Amino acid sequence: MKAALLLPFIALAGCSAPAATGGSSDAAELADALKGRTAGSPQRCINASNLEAPRIIGETLVYRQGGRLWTTRIEEGCPSLAGDPLLVVEVYGSNLCRNDRFRTVPRGASIPGPYCRFGDFVPYTPAK
Separation between Cα atoms, residue 41 and residue 117, nearest integer Å: 20
Using one digit for the tens of pLDDT, what is the confidence trace for 5-52?
443 444 444 444 444 445 689 999 999 999 999 999 999 999 999 999
CB 84 within 8 A of CB 104: no
pLDDT in tens, 93-128: 999 999 999 999 999 998 999 999 999 999 999 987
